[in-house]
Amino acid sequence: MEPAAEAEFTDFVAERGPALLRIAYALAGNQAAAEDLLQTALAKTALKWRSLDRRGVESYVKQVMYNDHVSWWRRRRNRQETSMASLPETPLPDSSEETALKLLLRDALRRLPPRQRAVLVLRYLEDLTEYQVAQRLGCSPGTVASQASRALRKLRATLEEYR
């Protein structure tokens, strides 16, 4: 990459990186996986930097993240689990009601299938229409609506159990 383009890319990452990491976290469900997802998307973006329209770079990075997230989930089904001698320690829940609710919601989101999680992130975090989400995920608007409905139903059921 030539120095001017590299500086432009570095500025983009510095400016938009934190917002992109929040989206990656919402998709991946944990910090390490979110960082990996974003890093992969940025690496792919860097390779295409010269040919990308600068006004659409952030959308391109997000699209790469959505596609990689769903692809990673599909590949993961073919992997075997690694046994561990002892289970890792689980964090103690915070005593405050708000923190407990946030943790519950985070865990409920993690249990959603990747496509449903991606639909919720795009619809409610990114504030896209069903049609825009369908275009990003390569499915029909009806699929987006049904996936969102199922995901919200699961989240409501989890929250009802909490009460």
Residue 142: predicted pLDDT: 94
Query: Is residue 116 a contact partner of residue 29, using CB atoms and an 8 Å limit?
Result: no
Is 48 part of any domain?
A: yes
Is 85 part of any domain?
A: no
CATH of the domain at 136: 1.10.10.10
Model pTM score: 0.57
Residues 68 and 102 in one domain: no
pLDDT at 16 over 80: yes
Phi-psi region of 5 (alpha: psi -120 to 50; beta: other; left: phi over 0): alpha
Is 156 part of any domain?
A: yes
Domain final residue pick, 24, 43, 76: 76
- Which stretches of 49-140 are DSSP H helices? 57-76, 97-111, 114-120, 130-137
Residue 70: predicted pLDDT: 82
Residues 130 and 69 in one domain: no
With bands split at pLDDT 50, 70 and 90, how would you rate the model's confidence at 148? very high
Q: How many domains does the chain have?
A: 2
Q: Which domain holds residue 140?
A: 97-162
Question: Quick one: average pLDDT of 99-110?
Answer: 81
Residues 60 and 104 in one domain: no
